[in-house]
């Protein structure tokens, strides 16, 4: 399978920490790239000390690190040390991609900005992920996911009018930034086959988040309409949101007219589409609260799972609301090989489970070839470079 992966033979020097950059590197690894993780001697990636198990954090194998670094190699280099700088330059000459997520200008100040590395290796693709990008008045401001969620407007539209602003329940801005970076790198590699030259990719988490917000951003840009928090309801359609079955919540997205009519028939409420308050999409949006009450009353007759099977089977998008644990145990997820069991680094009696990325290549899931590395585990593999004067 490894030889069939689209990025087989591509080497990436990964200087990143914590999430956005490591997540990008993880996607590239799953697609076949060799990821050489350059880590600070003795400490390594900050994520090595982050996670719910204190014992793992103390051994530099925190869950946050384990989740995003399977299949990578770890080499310890101090870029302020003359010998290690020579090693790094040797690696950079042969690399296809350099990935970093420092604040803007940090690598440039220590002598490894784009212009320097481009002279060293004209084919090198340099990707810098940062909170705000490499230019602009905020370029040097510190940024974590929470900061970007707030500045992007994301938190302002999350929750209800009474509870917003709320943070999205996972580091979505880091994730989106990493995905856009991986997409950009893949595109740059494709372009290099035509031009023979590397490029500099400047990825702003603020801008990638604004882009990913879709209608929340475009409704304002196109129509001047500022989005508002609507809780579990979909601003573009009704009925579309979270409803209450006999035993718990159920998501229904009857966004098309035929889906609404099918929903009403299955709810034994064929009268609803004939009601002028609910006759078309715009009318349903104006009368959303009343319509939701009618639907919730009808849904109390069955469980959420019963409704999921009945509605989805008839072409109406509907599903229960699950916990993360329940989602990972779905037969659908298992059937496609989304989770991979790996040897736990340093603990042979323990198994490490890691997520894939939802892509099958020729029918096969993309899996890490090995576990996350111990800090400096691959120093010996690069011994000639590591000991270079």
DSSP 372: P
d(CA 158, CA 229) in angstroms, rounded, equals: 6
137 closest CA partner among 204, 184, 219, 69: 204
As a 3-state breakdown, the chain gives helix, strand, coil percent values, each rounded to 5, of 40, 15, 40
What does 275-334 look like in DSSP terms, one character per residue? SGGGSSHHHHHHTHHHHHHHHHHHHTTS-HHHHHHHHHHTT--EEE---HHHHHT-HHHH
d(CA 253, CA 233) in angstroms, rounded, equals: 9
354 closest CA partner among 37, 39, 72, 58: 72
14, 45, 84, 174: which one is catalytic?
Answer: 174
- State in Å, rounded, how far the first CA of the chain is from the last one: 38
DSSP 169: S
Cis preceding-peptide flag for 239 (omega within 30 of 0): yes
Q: Is 174 a catalytic site residue?
A: yes
> What amino acid positions are annotated as catalytic residues?
174
């Amino acid at each position: 399978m490894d030889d069939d992966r689209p990025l087989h033979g591509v080497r990436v020097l990964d200087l990143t920490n914590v999430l956005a950059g490591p997540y990008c590197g993880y996607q590239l690894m799953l697609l076949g790239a060799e990821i050489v993780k350059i880590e600070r001697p003795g400490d390594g990636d900050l994520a090595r000390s982050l996670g719910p198990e204190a014992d793992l954090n103390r051994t530099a194998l925190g869950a946050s690190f384990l989740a995003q670094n399977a299949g990578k190699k770890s080499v310890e280099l101090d870029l302020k040390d003359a010998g290690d700088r020579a090693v790094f330059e040797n690696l950079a000459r042969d690399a296809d991609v350099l990935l970093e997520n420092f604040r803007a200008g940090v690598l440039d100040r220590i002598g490894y900005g784009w212009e320097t590395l481009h002279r060293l290796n004209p084919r090198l693709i340099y990707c810098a992920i940062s909170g705000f990008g490499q230019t602009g008045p905020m370029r040097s401001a510190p940024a974590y996911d929470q900061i970007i969620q707030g500045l992007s407007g994301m938190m302002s539209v999350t929750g209800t009018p009474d509870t917003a602003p709320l943070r999205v329940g996972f580091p979505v801005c880091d994730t989106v930034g990493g995905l856009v970076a991986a997409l950009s790198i893949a595109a740059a590699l494709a372009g290099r086959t035509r031009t023979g030259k590397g490029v500099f990719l400047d990825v702003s988490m603020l801008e990638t988040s604004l882009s990913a917000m879709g209608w929340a951003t475009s409704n304002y840009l196109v129509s001047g309409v500022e989005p508002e928090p609507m809780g579990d309801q979909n601003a573009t359609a009704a009925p579309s949101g979270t409803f209450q079955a006999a035993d718990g919540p159920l998501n229904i997205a009857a966004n098309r007219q035929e889906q609404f009519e099918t929903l009403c028939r299955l709810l034994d409420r064929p009268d609803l589409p004939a009601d002028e308050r609910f006759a078309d999409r715009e009318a349903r949006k104006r009368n959303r609260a009343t319509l939701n009450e009618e639907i919730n009353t009808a849904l109390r007759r069955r469980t959420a799972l019963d409704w999921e099977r009945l509605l989805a089977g008839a072409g109406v998008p509907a599903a229960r609301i699950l916990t993360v644990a329940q989602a990972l145990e779905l037969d659908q997820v298992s059937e496609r090989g989304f989770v991979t069991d790996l040897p736990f680094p340093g603990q042979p009696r323990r198994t490490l489970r890691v997520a894939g990325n939802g892509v099958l290549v020729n029918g096969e899931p993309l899996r890490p070839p090995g576990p996350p590395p111990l800090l400096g585990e691959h120093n010996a593999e690069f011994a000639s470079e590591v000991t270079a004067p």
